[in-house]
Structure 1
């Protein structure tokens, strides 16, 4: 069983681990601070562009719609289209991937889009491609349990205030 997600940075770590462990890709993986210059292997630079609100999960966890970008810097000896080709491979990997995170806390990626881009380091521009997508994480405690861990419920037609926890009753097994 996957470890529960506690914070958004775990998505970064899970994506990086998956990319590094996919032997067929043979990539350097990191963030923009890790990159200094192209080398013998292509680079994939992972970044979070946004953390937006989403619809709560069925269990009440708060939704974090993460906009993730993977910027591909081709290897020095690569052709001009190498980054575009690698984006296609990454798109196939990303589709339907939860990065070994719990399915009830990590939705499938949505809005996958690849575009040509430019990376500038020390006045040196590098032609790159960026693959971006949204992935929703559900973080925090569930609303199904009170602090004691006893599931409770209430029917709107039986209580005067659905937001009053004292009007909830214990869920029977």
Structure 2
């Protein structure tokens, strides 16, 4: 959030067209090794148990890296403009005169964590050893992207399903790590 506020300030002060992008639970080849898809895959292959918070009742908007890249390419041609009709008296905290936009890039539909784990298990052909835990402090039950503004600006909706994305990720993982 602080990054968005700083970017908005510069956009407002210097009339600098600025676009911010929010990514939702990105996964795929070359993904971060500290994220759940990578950790789950590694532990399942190695026969280790995976920790599942809130007994698996968690929902996330898993977004494949190919959809993120396509979204970035498409939004890069959409330049924010100064809002000439903006008036301070009628404003809300969500609008301003600055040439500034924020877009969410995500699949747009939350998926239950247990379904995500099942997709990994199916692709690996191995059932995970599961360690169910209570909800962890600071964790969030559900997150997903409202992609309405992004779609209106680009006409693009991410399209890589979890099954397709996990198949790609697991194939990459096995090839890269020789597993």
When normalised by structure 2's length, the TM-score is 0.27
Which structure has the greater CA radius of gyration? 1
